[in-house]
Amino acid sequence: MTAPHALTLAEAAALIAARRLSPVELLEDCLARIAAVEPRLNAVIALLAGPARAGAKAAETEIARAGPRSPMHGIPVGLKDIIDLEGVATTCHSKLQIDRIAPSDAAVTARLRALGAVFPAKLATHEFAIGGPAFDLPFPPARNPWNLAHHPGGSSSGSGAAIAARYFPAALGTDTGGSVRHPASHCGIVGLKPTYGLVSRRGVFPLAFTLDHVGPMTRTVRDNAMLLNAIAGHDPGDPGSAAAGAEDYTRLLHTGLKGLKIGFVRHFHETDQPAIPEVAAALEAAAKLMAAEGAIIQDITLPPLGEFSAVNRTILLPEATAIHEPWLRERPGDYAAVTRRRLLPGLFTTGTDYVQAQRRRRELVALVEAAFDGVDLLLTASSMEPACRIDDTVEVERTYPRQARTPFNVTGHPAISVMCGVQASTGLPIGLQLVAPGFAEARLFAAAAGYERAAPWGELTPGL
Amino acid sequence: MSDEAAIRAKAAGLDKAWAEHRSDVEEAIASAARIRTGFARPASPTAEPTPAYRAPAPKAPRA
Protein backbone atom coordinates (compact mmCIF):
# COMPACT_ATOMS: atom_id res chain seq x y z
CA MET A 1 0.00 0.00 0.00
CA THR A 2 1.19 3.53 -0.80
CA ALA A 3 2.47 5.40 2.25
CA PRO A 4 0.03 8.17 3.20
CA HIS A 5 2.54 10.97 2.50
CA ALA A 6 2.96 9.68 -1.08
CA LEU A 7 -0.76 9.63 -1.89
CA THR A 8 -2.08 12.11 -4.40
CA LEU A 9 -4.66 14.60 -3.21
CA ALA A 10 -7.41 12.67 -5.03
CA GLU A 11 -6.31 9.36 -3.49
CA ALA A 12 -6.06 10.80 0.02
CA ALA A 13 -9.44 12.55 -0.27
CA ALA A 14 -11.11 9.32 -1.44
CA LEU A 15 -9.59 7.30 1.41
CA ILE A 16 -10.60 9.95 3.96
CA ALA A 17 -14.16 10.02 2.59
CA ALA A 18 -14.30 6.22 2.82
CA ARG A 19 -13.03 6.40 6.46
CA ARG A 20 -10.03 4.29 5.46
CA LEU A 21 -7.52 7.03 6.23
CA SER A 22 -7.65 9.48 9.11
CA PRO A 23 -6.43 13.06 8.65
CA VAL A 24 -4.27 12.51 11.75
CA GLU A 25 -2.63 9.43 10.22
CA LEU A 26 -2.05 11.33 6.96
CA LEU A 27 -0.53 14.36 8.69
CA GLU A 28 1.71 12.30 10.97
CA ASP A 29 3.13 10.43 7.97
CA CYS A 30 3.70 13.74 6.16
CA LEU A 31 5.50 15.16 9.23
CA ALA A 32 7.68 12.04 9.40
CA ARG A 33 8.54 12.44 5.72
CA ILE A 34 9.46 16.10 6.27
CA ALA A 35 11.64 15.17 9.27
CA ALA A 36 13.49 12.58 7.19
CA VAL A 37 14.14 14.71 4.09
CA GLU A 38 14.09 18.37 5.10
CA PRO A 39 17.67 18.60 6.42
CA ARG A 40 18.83 18.01 2.81
CA LEU A 41 16.08 19.91 0.96
CA ASN A 42 15.49 23.21 2.83
CA ALA A 43 11.95 23.55 1.48
CA VAL A 44 10.43 24.62 4.81
CA ILE A 45 10.72 28.03 6.47
CA ALA A 46 8.41 27.27 9.37
CA LEU A 47 7.11 23.84 10.39
CA LEU A 48 3.67 24.24 11.99
CA ALA A 49 3.28 20.77 13.47
CA GLY A 50 1.28 21.84 16.53
CA PRO A 51 -1.48 23.82 14.79
CA ALA A 52 -1.58 21.28 11.97
CA ARG A 53 -2.05 18.42 14.45
CA ALA A 54 -4.90 20.33 16.10
CA GLY A 55 -6.47 20.90 12.68
CA ALA A 56 -6.09 17.26 11.67
CA LYS A 57 -7.60 16.06 14.95
CA ALA A 58 -10.57 18.41 14.53
CA ALA A 59 -11.00 17.17 10.97
CA GLU A 60 -10.86 13.56 12.12
CA THR A 61 -13.55 14.16 14.72
CA GLU A 62 -15.84 16.07 12.36
CA ILE A 63 -15.45 13.56 9.52
CA ALA A 64 -16.20 10.65 11.87
CA ARG A 65 -19.40 12.41 12.91
CA ALA A 66 -20.65 14.00 9.69
CA GLY A 67 -18.38 13.09 6.79
CA PRO A 68 -15.98 15.43 4.97
CA ARG A 69 -16.96 19.02 4.21
CA SER A 70 -15.11 18.87 0.90
CA PRO A 71 -12.34 16.90 -0.83
CA MET A 72 -9.86 19.23 0.95
CA HIS A 73 -11.06 18.21 4.44
CA GLY A 74 -8.06 16.92 6.38
CA ILE A 75 -5.64 17.47 3.47
CA PRO A 76 -2.26 19.07 4.37
CA VAL A 77 -1.50 22.05 2.11
CA GLY A 78 1.84 23.92 2.11
CA LEU A 79 1.93 27.69 1.65
CA LYS A 80 4.64 29.72 -0.05
CA ASP A 81 5.86 32.10 2.62
CA ILE A 82 4.45 35.23 1.04
CA ILE A 83 0.89 33.96 1.67
CA ASP A 84 -0.64 34.99 4.99
CA LEU A 85 -1.69 32.45 7.60
CA GLU A 86 -3.28 34.10 10.62
CA GLY A 87 -0.99 34.33 13.64
CA VAL A 88 2.08 33.08 11.79
CA ALA A 89 4.97 35.16 10.39
CA THR A 90 4.95 35.79 6.64
CA THR A 91 8.70 36.23 6.25
CA CYS A 92 8.91 36.50 2.45
CA HIS A 93 12.19 34.63 3.06
CA SER A 94 13.64 38.01 4.06
CA LYS A 95 15.29 39.74 6.99
CA LEU A 96 13.03 42.70 6.20
CA GLN A 97 9.81 40.82 7.07
CA ILE A 98 11.06 38.21 9.48
CA ASP A 99 8.91 39.38 12.41
CA ARG A 100 5.72 40.38 10.60
CA ILE A 101 2.90 38.24 11.99
CA ALA A 102 -0.07 37.90 9.64
CA PRO A 103 -3.12 39.50 11.26
CA SER A 104 -5.51 37.35 9.27
CA ASP A 105 -5.64 34.64 6.63
CA ALA A 106 -5.05 35.44 2.98
CA ALA A 107 -8.22 34.92 0.93
CA VAL A 108 -6.87 31.63 -0.47
CA THR A 109 -5.90 30.42 3.01
CA ALA A 110 -9.33 31.30 4.34
CA ARG A 111 -11.03 29.40 1.51
CA LEU A 112 -8.91 26.33 2.18
CA ARG A 113 -9.45 26.57 5.93
CA ALA A 114 -13.22 26.77 5.42
CA LEU A 115 -13.03 23.60 3.34
CA GLY A 116 -11.15 21.80 6.13
CA ALA A 117 -7.53 21.87 4.88
CA VAL A 118 -4.66 21.90 7.39
CA PHE A 119 -1.43 23.88 7.06
CA PRO A 120 1.71 22.00 8.12
CA ALA A 121 4.35 24.42 6.79
CA LYS A 122 5.27 27.80 5.35
CA LEU A 123 7.58 27.18 2.43
CA ALA A 124 10.79 28.66 1.04
CA THR A 125 10.65 31.25 -1.73
CA HIS A 126 13.03 33.56 -3.48
CA GLU A 127 13.24 36.70 -1.32
CA PHE A 128 10.02 38.66 -1.95
CA ALA A 129 9.38 36.24 -4.85
CA ILE A 130 12.19 37.76 -6.90
CA GLY A 131 15.61 37.37 -5.28
CA GLY A 132 17.09 33.89 -5.43
CA PRO A 133 18.43 31.36 -5.09
CA ALA A 134 20.50 33.18 -2.49
CA PHE A 135 22.78 32.13 0.34
CA ASP A 136 22.88 35.52 2.14
CA LEU A 137 19.37 35.34 3.63
CA PRO A 138 18.05 34.24 7.05
CA PHE A 139 17.00 30.88 5.56
CA PRO A 140 18.86 28.65 3.08
CA PRO A 141 17.50 28.22 -0.46
CA ALA A 142 15.42 25.15 -1.29
CA ARG A 143 17.12 22.48 -3.40
CA ASN A 144 15.93 20.22 -6.18
CA PRO A 145 14.70 16.81 -4.93
CA TRP A 146 15.81 15.13 -8.18
CA ASN A 147 19.40 16.31 -7.71
CA LEU A 148 20.25 18.18 -4.54
CA ALA A 149 23.19 20.00 -6.13
CA HIS A 150 20.75 21.82 -8.42
CA HIS A 151 18.17 24.56 -7.83
CA PRO A 152 14.45 23.72 -7.90
CA GLY A 153 13.38 26.78 -9.90
CA GLY A 154 11.66 29.75 -8.39
CA SER A 155 10.34 31.76 -6.93
CA SER A 156 7.92 29.17 -5.51
CA SER A 157 10.97 27.03 -4.83
CA GLY A 158 9.91 25.45 -1.55
CA SER A 159 6.45 24.61 -2.90
CA GLY A 160 7.92 22.84 -5.94
CA ALA A 161 10.55 20.98 -3.93
CA ALA A 162 8.10 19.93 -1.19
CA ILE A 163 5.53 18.52 -3.61
CA ALA A 164 8.13 16.63 -5.65
CA ALA A 165 9.63 15.26 -2.40
CA ARG A 166 6.21 13.98 -1.27
CA TYR A 167 6.03 16.17 1.84
CA PHE A 168 2.27 16.56 1.28
CA PRO A 169 0.01 16.39 -1.78
CA ALA A 170 -0.71 20.08 -2.41
CA ALA A 171 0.86 23.52 -2.11
CA LEU A 172 0.26 27.06 -3.25
CA GLY A 173 2.75 29.21 -5.12
CA THR A 174 2.65 32.58 -6.83
CA ASP A 175 3.57 33.52 -10.39
CA THR A 176 4.52 37.01 -11.66
CA GLY A 177 6.99 36.08 -14.41
CA GLY A 178 6.66 32.28 -14.27
CA SER A 179 7.23 31.48 -10.59
CA VAL A 180 4.74 28.61 -10.26
CA ARG A 181 5.59 27.02 -13.61
CA HIS A 182 9.38 27.36 -13.21
CA PRO A 183 9.67 25.12 -10.12
CA ALA A 184 6.93 22.88 -11.54
CA SER A 185 9.06 22.30 -14.65
CA HIS A 186 12.30 21.80 -12.76
CA CYS A 187 10.76 19.55 -10.09
CA GLY A 188 8.65 17.40 -12.43
CA ILE A 189 5.28 18.38 -10.97
CA VAL A 190 2.15 20.18 -12.20
CA GLY A 191 1.92 23.95 -11.75
CA LEU A 192 -0.88 26.23 -12.96
CA LYS A 193 -0.89 29.98 -13.39
CA PRO A 194 -4.63 30.61 -13.58
CA THR A 195 -6.29 33.39 -15.58
CA TYR A 196 -5.44 36.77 -14.03
CA GLY A 197 -8.09 37.58 -11.45
CA LEU A 198 -9.52 34.05 -11.11
CA VAL A 199 -7.78 33.48 -7.75
CA SER A 200 -7.68 36.23 -5.13
CA ARG A 201 -4.36 37.85 -4.26
CA ARG A 202 -5.66 39.42 -1.04
CA GLY A 203 -3.28 38.68 1.82
CA VAL A 204 -0.42 37.69 -0.49
CA PHE A 205 2.67 39.93 -0.35
CA PRO A 206 2.70 41.61 -3.78
CA LEU A 207 5.54 41.58 -6.26
CA ALA A 208 3.81 43.38 -9.15
CA PHE A 209 0.12 44.19 -8.90
CA THR A 210 -0.88 43.73 -12.55
CA LEU A 211 1.16 40.54 -13.06
CA ASP A 212 0.74 38.58 -9.80
CA HIS A 213 -1.19 35.29 -9.74
CA VAL A 214 -1.66 32.64 -7.03
CA GLY A 215 -1.55 29.10 -8.40
CA PRO A 216 -1.90 25.44 -7.36
CA MET A 217 1.10 23.08 -7.33
CA THR A 218 0.52 19.32 -7.17
CA ARG A 219 1.84 16.00 -8.51
CA THR A 220 -1.06 15.29 -10.87
CA VAL A 221 -3.33 17.28 -13.15
CA ARG A 222 -6.45 16.03 -11.35
CA ASP A 223 -5.06 17.22 -8.01
CA ASN A 224 -4.30 20.59 -9.56
CA ALA A 225 -7.89 20.96 -10.77
CA MET A 226 -9.18 19.95 -7.34
CA LEU A 227 -6.99 22.54 -5.64
CA LEU A 228 -8.10 25.22 -8.11
CA ASN A 229 -11.72 24.28 -7.28
CA ALA A 230 -10.89 25.15 -3.68
CA ILE A 231 -9.23 28.53 -4.24
CA ALA A 232 -10.90 30.07 -7.32
CA GLY A 233 -13.71 32.56 -7.16
CA HIS A 234 -14.55 36.24 -7.01
CA ASP A 235 -13.22 38.24 -4.08
CA PRO A 236 -14.46 41.82 -3.70
CA GLY A 237 -11.42 42.44 -1.47
CA ASP A 238 -9.03 42.01 -4.41
CA PRO A 239 -9.27 44.94 -6.86
CA GLY A 240 -8.06 42.69 -9.69
CA SER A 241 -10.51 39.88 -8.97
CA ALA A 242 -12.54 38.79 -11.97
CA ALA A 243 -16.30 38.75 -11.81
CA ALA A 244 -16.37 35.32 -13.44
CA GLY A 245 -17.70 32.63 -11.15
CA ALA A 246 -15.73 29.55 -10.25
CA GLU A 247 -16.71 26.20 -11.76
CA ASP A 248 -15.82 22.52 -11.42
CA TYR A 249 -12.41 22.37 -13.08
CA THR A 250 -12.34 18.54 -12.95
CA ARG A 251 -15.40 18.17 -15.18
CA LEU A 252 -13.54 17.72 -18.50
CA LEU A 253 -10.59 15.68 -17.24
CA HIS A 254 -11.85 12.49 -18.90
CA THR A 255 -12.17 14.10 -22.33
CA GLY A 256 -8.46 14.27 -23.05
CA LEU A 257 -6.85 15.60 -26.22
CA LYS A 258 -9.12 14.18 -28.93
CA GLY A 259 -10.18 16.84 -31.41
CA LEU A 260 -8.33 19.71 -29.74
CA LYS A 261 -6.48 22.01 -32.13
CA ILE A 262 -3.14 22.96 -30.56
CA GLY A 263 -0.88 25.73 -31.86
CA PHE A 264 2.79 24.78 -31.31
CA VAL A 265 4.83 27.95 -30.75
CA ARG A 266 8.10 26.46 -31.97
CA HIS A 267 9.89 29.76 -32.53
CA PHE A 268 9.98 30.41 -28.78
CA HIS A 269 12.47 27.56 -28.30
CA GLU A 270 13.91 27.22 -31.81
CA THR A 271 14.96 30.81 -32.61
CA ASP A 272 13.94 33.28 -29.86
CA GLN A 273 15.73 31.48 -27.00
CA PRO A 274 17.19 28.29 -28.49
CA ALA A 275 16.62 25.35 -26.17
CA ILE A 276 19.21 22.65 -25.59
CA PRO A 277 18.66 19.62 -27.89
CA GLU A 278 17.21 17.40 -25.15
CA VAL A 279 14.50 19.96 -24.35
CA ALA A 280 13.68 20.50 -28.03
CA ALA A 281 13.48 16.72 -28.55
CA ALA A 282 11.24 16.29 -25.50
CA LEU A 283 8.86 18.96 -26.85
CA GLU A 284 8.74 17.32 -30.28
CA ALA A 285 8.05 13.93 -28.68
CA ALA A 286 5.28 15.47 -26.57
CA ALA A 287 3.67 17.05 -29.63
CA LYS A 288 3.82 13.72 -31.44
CA LEU A 289 2.21 11.94 -28.47
CA MET A 290 -0.55 14.57 -28.30
CA ALA A 291 -1.22 14.03 -31.99
CA ALA A 292 -1.37 10.27 -31.42
CA GLU A 293 -3.99 10.96 -28.73
CA GLY A 294 -6.15 12.79 -31.26
CA ALA A 295 -5.00 16.41 -31.05
CA ILE A 296 -4.39 18.41 -34.21
CA ILE A 297 -0.98 20.10 -33.95
CA GLN A 298 -0.13 23.09 -36.12
CA ASP A 299 2.64 25.66 -36.01
CA ILE A 300 1.70 29.12 -34.83
CA THR A 301 3.63 32.38 -34.59
CA LEU A 302 3.42 34.92 -31.77
CA PRO A 303 5.56 38.03 -31.16
CA PRO A 304 9.11 37.15 -30.07
CA LEU A 305 9.81 36.08 -26.51
CA GLY A 306 12.21 38.97 -25.98
CA GLU A 307 9.48 41.52 -26.47
CA PHE A 308 7.15 39.84 -23.96
CA SER A 309 10.06 39.71 -21.54
CA ALA A 310 10.93 43.40 -21.95
CA VAL A 311 7.30 44.41 -21.44
CA ASN A 312 7.08 42.18 -18.37
CA ARG A 313 10.19 43.69 -16.79
CA THR A 314 9.26 47.27 -17.64
CA ILE A 315 5.96 46.74 -15.82
CA LEU A 316 7.13 44.40 -13.05
CA LEU A 317 10.11 46.40 -11.80
CA PRO A 318 8.45 49.80 -11.20
CA GLU A 319 5.42 48.08 -9.64
CA ALA A 320 7.81 46.17 -7.35
CA THR A 321 9.92 49.18 -6.44
CA ALA A 322 6.76 51.15 -5.63
CA ILE A 323 6.42 48.59 -2.83
CA HIS A 324 10.11 48.34 -1.93
CA GLU A 325 11.15 52.00 -2.33
CA PRO A 326 11.41 52.80 1.40
CA TRP A 327 13.54 49.73 2.12
CA LEU A 328 15.74 50.20 -0.95
CA ARG A 329 16.43 53.73 0.27
CA GLU A 330 16.88 53.05 3.99
CA ARG A 331 17.93 49.39 4.29
CA PRO A 332 19.53 48.33 0.99
CA GLY A 333 22.00 46.08 2.80
CA ASP A 334 19.23 44.02 4.38
CA TYR A 335 18.30 42.46 1.03
CA ALA A 336 20.18 39.56 -0.51
CA ALA A 337 22.57 40.96 -3.09
CA VAL A 338 20.65 39.28 -5.92
CA THR A 339 17.33 40.75 -4.76
CA ARG A 340 18.80 44.25 -4.55
CA ARG A 341 20.30 43.93 -8.02
CA ARG A 342 17.05 42.62 -9.51
CA LEU A 343 14.87 45.32 -7.91
CA LEU A 344 16.97 48.47 -8.32
CA PRO A 345 16.39 48.99 -12.08
CA GLY A 346 12.75 49.70 -11.26
CA LEU A 347 13.77 52.99 -9.66
CA PHE A 348 15.33 54.08 -12.96
CA THR A 349 12.43 53.07 -15.23
CA THR A 350 10.59 56.23 -16.28
CA GLY A 351 6.87 56.74 -15.97
CA THR A 352 6.74 57.08 -19.73
CA ASP A 353 8.42 53.70 -20.23
CA TYR A 354 5.98 52.09 -17.81
CA VAL A 355 2.96 53.45 -19.67
CA GLN A 356 4.49 52.54 -23.03
CA ALA A 357 4.90 48.97 -21.79
CA GLN A 358 1.27 48.90 -20.63
CA ARG A 359 0.19 50.22 -24.04
CA ARG A 360 2.24 47.56 -25.85
CA ARG A 361 0.84 44.98 -23.44
CA ARG A 362 -2.68 45.63 -24.74
CA GLU A 363 -1.44 45.02 -28.29
CA LEU A 364 0.32 41.80 -27.26
CA VAL A 365 -2.86 40.58 -25.56
CA ALA A 366 -4.78 41.23 -28.78
CA LEU A 367 -2.23 39.27 -30.82
CA VAL A 368 -2.44 36.25 -28.53
CA GLU A 369 -6.23 36.51 -28.47
CA ALA A 370 -6.18 36.49 -32.28
CA ALA A 371 -4.10 33.29 -32.21
CA PHE A 372 -6.86 31.65 -30.18
CA ASP A 373 -9.31 32.37 -33.01
CA GLY A 374 -7.64 29.48 -34.86
CA VAL A 375 -6.64 27.06 -32.10
CA ASP A 376 -7.98 25.77 -28.78
CA LEU A 377 -4.66 25.76 -26.92
CA LEU A 378 -1.01 26.70 -27.31
CA LEU A 379 1.95 24.37 -26.69
CA THR A 380 5.32 25.92 -25.80
CA ALA A 381 8.54 25.21 -24.01
CA SER A 382 8.69 26.12 -20.33
CA SER A 383 12.46 26.39 -19.58
CA MET A 384 15.08 26.05 -22.30
CA GLU A 385 17.22 23.74 -20.15
CA PRO A 386 16.83 21.78 -16.90
CA ALA A 387 17.92 23.37 -13.62
CA CYS A 388 21.60 24.22 -13.27
CA ARG A 389 23.71 23.80 -10.14
CA ILE A 390 22.42 25.99 -7.32
CA ASP A 391 25.90 27.28 -6.44
CA ASP A 392 26.75 28.35 -10.00
CA THR A 393 25.64 31.97 -9.81
CA VAL A 394 26.76 32.80 -13.34
CA GLU A 395 24.77 29.93 -14.82
CA VAL A 396 21.74 30.78 -12.65
CA GLU A 397 21.76 34.34 -14.03
CA ARG A 398 22.22 33.08 -17.60
CA THR A 399 19.52 30.42 -17.55
CA TYR A 400 16.75 31.95 -15.40
CA PRO A 401 15.54 34.29 -18.19
CA ARG A 402 15.69 31.53 -20.81
CA GLN A 403 12.03 30.59 -20.54
CA ALA A 404 8.66 30.97 -22.27
CA ARG A 405 6.41 31.55 -19.26
CA THR A 406 6.54 35.35 -19.01
CA PRO A 407 4.30 36.01 -22.07
CA PHE A 408 1.28 34.70 -20.22
CA ASN A 409 1.84 36.87 -17.16
CA VAL A 410 1.79 39.78 -19.58
CA THR A 411 -1.42 38.58 -21.24
CA GLY A 412 -3.12 36.98 -18.22
CA HIS A 413 -3.99 33.74 -20.06
CA PRO A 414 -3.99 30.52 -18.00
CA ALA A 415 -0.88 28.35 -18.45
CA ILE A 416 0.12 24.99 -17.00
CA SER A 417 3.46 23.21 -16.77
CA VAL A 418 3.61 19.42 -16.85
CA MET A 419 6.59 17.07 -17.03
CA CYS A 420 7.59 15.88 -20.51
CA GLY A 421 11.02 14.30 -20.09
CA VAL A 422 14.21 13.74 -18.12
CA GLN A 423 17.72 14.90 -18.92
CA ALA A 424 19.84 11.75 -19.12
CA SER A 425 23.04 13.24 -17.72
CA THR A 426 21.56 14.83 -14.58
CA GLY A 427 18.29 12.97 -14.01
CA LEU A 428 16.52 16.34 -13.91
CA PRO A 429 12.96 16.81 -15.22
CA ILE A 430 11.97 18.76 -18.34
CA GLY A 431 8.59 20.51 -18.55
CA LEU A 432 6.28 21.73 -21.27
CA GLN A 433 3.66 24.47 -21.13
CA LEU A 434 0.07 24.45 -22.37
CA VAL A 435 -1.86 27.73 -22.58
CA ALA A 436 -5.60 28.36 -22.95
CA PRO A 437 -7.88 31.31 -23.60
CA GLY A 438 -8.93 33.25 -20.52
CA PHE A 439 -11.05 31.29 -18.03
CA ALA A 440 -10.70 28.06 -20.08
CA GLU A 441 -8.88 26.25 -17.28
CA ALA A 442 -11.16 23.21 -17.59
CA ARG A 443 -10.07 22.74 -21.21
CA LEU A 444 -6.44 23.23 -20.19
CA PHE A 445 -6.73 20.54 -17.51
CA ALA A 446 -8.43 18.19 -20.00
CA ALA A 447 -5.51 18.42 -22.42
CA ALA A 448 -2.86 18.22 -19.68
CA ALA A 449 -4.57 15.17 -18.17
CA GLY A 450 -4.81 13.52 -21.58
CA TYR A 451 -1.08 14.00 -22.08
CA GLU A 452 -0.33 12.86 -18.52
CA ARG A 453 -2.26 9.60 -19.04
CA ALA A 454 -0.45 8.85 -22.30
CA ALA A 455 3.08 9.77 -21.14
CA PRO A 456 5.26 7.67 -18.82
CA TRP A 457 6.60 10.45 -16.60
CA GLY A 458 4.19 10.04 -13.69
CA GLU A 459 5.87 6.76 -12.84
CA LEU A 460 9.17 8.48 -12.03
CA THR A 461 10.00 9.79 -8.57
CA PRO A 462 13.02 11.63 -7.16
CA GLY A 463 15.51 9.25 -5.57
CA LEU A 464 15.62 10.87 -2.15
CA MET B 1 28.83 58.18 -16.27
CA SER B 2 29.70 58.15 -12.60
CA ASP B 3 28.78 61.82 -12.03
CA GLU B 4 25.56 61.35 -13.95
CA ALA B 5 24.88 58.09 -12.13
CA ALA B 6 25.45 59.79 -8.79
CA ILE B 7 22.94 62.49 -9.69
CA ARG B 8 20.39 59.93 -10.82
CA ALA B 9 20.94 57.81 -7.70
CA LYS B 10 20.42 60.89 -5.50
CA ALA B 11 17.30 61.83 -7.45
CA ALA B 12 15.95 58.34 -6.81
CA GLY B 13 16.63 58.71 -3.10
CA LEU B 14 19.35 56.08 -3.15
CA ASP B 15 22.10 57.95 -1.28
CA LYS B 16 22.67 55.04 1.09
CA ALA B 17 22.66 52.41 -1.67
CA TRP B 18 25.04 54.61 -3.69
CA ALA B 19 27.41 54.78 -0.75
CA GLU B 20 27.24 51.09 0.15
CA HIS B 21 26.42 49.27 -3.11
CA ARG B 22 27.56 51.63 -5.86
CA SER B 23 28.13 48.97 -8.50
CA ASP B 24 24.60 47.61 -8.01
CA VAL B 25 23.15 51.10 -8.61
CA GLU B 26 25.32 51.68 -11.68
CA GLU B 27 24.24 48.34 -13.11
CA ALA B 28 20.59 49.16 -12.35
CA ILE B 29 20.82 52.38 -14.35
CA ALA B 30 22.37 50.53 -17.27
CA SER B 31 19.84 47.70 -17.03
CA ALA B 32 16.87 50.09 -17.06
CA ALA B 33 18.29 51.73 -20.20
CA ARG B 34 18.63 48.34 -21.89
CA ILE B 35 15.14 47.13 -20.99
CA ARG B 36 13.41 50.23 -22.37
CA THR B 37 14.58 49.43 -25.90
CA GLY B 38 13.31 45.85 -25.78
CA PHE B 39 9.76 46.38 -27.01
CA ALA B 40 7.98 48.27 -29.76
CA ARG B 41 6.10 51.45 -28.93
CA PRO B 42 2.49 51.41 -30.18
CA ALA B 43 2.22 53.12 -33.56
CA SER B 44 -1.18 54.59 -32.84
CA PRO B 45 -1.12 57.68 -30.64
CA THR B 46 -4.54 56.66 -29.32
CA ALA B 47 -3.44 53.20 -28.08
CA GLU B 48 -4.58 52.88 -24.46
CA PRO B 49 -2.54 51.24 -21.72
CA THR B 50 -3.60 48.12 -19.85
CA PRO B 51 -5.51 48.16 -17.60
CA ALA B 52 -7.83 50.97 -18.68
CA TYR B 53 -8.84 53.32 -15.93
CA ARG B 54 -12.40 52.79 -14.76
CA ALA B 55 -14.39 55.19 -12.64
CA PRO B 56 -15.80 53.83 -9.39
CA ALA B 57 -19.14 52.06 -9.74
CA PRO B 58 -22.23 54.19 -9.10
CA LYS B 59 -23.23 54.42 -5.47
CA ALA B 60 -26.72 53.66 -4.29
CA PRO B 61 -28.59 56.80 -3.21
CA ARG B 62 -28.20 57.65 0.46
CA ALA B 63 -31.23 56.69 2.47
Q: Give tens-digit pLDDT for B1-58.
A: 578 999 999 999 999 999 999 999 999 999 999 999 999 999 999 999 998 888 888 8
Best mutation target, A344, A365, A406, to test chain B (most B CBs within 10 A): A344
- The percentage of residues in chain A with a pLDDT greater than 70, rounded to a whole number, is 100
Sequence-ordered list of residues with C-beta below 8 angstroms from that of A269, at least 6 positions apart, any chain: A275, A279, A280, A283, A380, A381, A384, A404
Q: What is the pLDDT of residue A190?
A: 98
Residues A215-268 pLDDT 10s: 999 999 999 999 999 999 999 999 999 987 779 999 999 999 999 999 999 999
Instruction: Answer yes or no: do B32 and A317 touch at CB < 8 A.
Output: yes
CB of A358 less than 8 A from some CB of B: yes
Catalytic-residue membership of A57: no
Active site residue A425: no
Q: Is the pLDDT of residue B59 over 90?
A: no
Of the residues B27, B37, B39, the best mutation for testing chain A's interface (the one with the most A CB atoms within 10 Å of its CB) is B39
Q: Do residues A154 and A387 touch, judged by C-beta distance below 8 A?
A: no
User: What is the count of residue pairs from A and B with beta carbons less than 8 Å apart?
Assistant: 103
- pTM beyond 0.90: yes
Question: Between B53 and A351, whose confidence is greater?
Answer: A351
Nearest to A307 among B17, B21, B39 (CB): B39
Q: Is B51 touching A (CB cutoff 8 A)?
A: yes
Q: Which CATH architecture has domain A4-459?
A: Alpha-Beta Complex (3.90)
Q: Is A361 on the interface with B (CB under 8 A)?
A: yes
- What's the pLDDT score for residue B1? 56
Q: What does the pLDDT read at residue B57?
A: 82
Domain segments of chain A as ranges: 4-459
Q: Is A261 labeled as catalytic in the residue annotation?
A: no
One-letter-per-residue 3-state SS of chain A? CCCHHHCCHHHHHHHHHCCCCCHHHHHHHHHHHHHHHHHHHCCEEEECHHHHHHHHHHHHHHHHHHCCCCCCCCCEEEEECCECCCCCECCCCCHHHCCCECCCCCHHHHHHHHCCCECCEEECCCECCCECCCCCCCCCCCCECCECCECCCCCCHHHHHHHHCCCCCEEEEEECCCCCHHHHHHHCCEEEECCCCCECCCCECCCCCCCCEEEEEECCHHHHHHHHHHHECCCCCCCCCCCCCCCCCCCCHHHCCCCCEEEECHHHHHHHCCCCHHHHHHHHHHHHHHHHCCCEEEECCCCCHHHHHHHHHHHHHHHHHHHHHHHHHHCHHHCCHHHHHHHHHHHHCCHHHHHHHHHHHHHHHHHHHHHCCCCCEEEEECECCCCCECCCHHHHHHHCCCECCCHHHHHCCCEEEEEEEECCCCCCEEEEEEECCCCCHHHHHHHHHHHHHHCCHHHCCCCC
Q: Which of A179, A309, A382, A417 is catalytic?
A: A179
Quote the pLDDT of residue A462: 97
B contacts of A348 (beta carbons < 8 Å): 8, 12, 28-29, 31-33
Span A416-428, mean pLDDT? 96
Determine whether the interchain pair B39/A311 forms a contact, defined as Cβ–Cβ distance below 8 Å: yes
Nearest-neighbour CA in chain B from A128: distance (Å): 18
Which of chain B's residues have a Cβ under 8 Å away from the Cβ of A332? 14, 16-17, 20-21, 24
Question: Does residue A59 belong to the interface with chain B, where contact is any CB pair within 8 Å?
Answer: no
Largest Cα separation within chain B, whole Å, is: 63
pLDDT in tens, A394-408: 999 999 999 999 999
Q: What is the mean pLDDT of residues A275-283?
A: 98
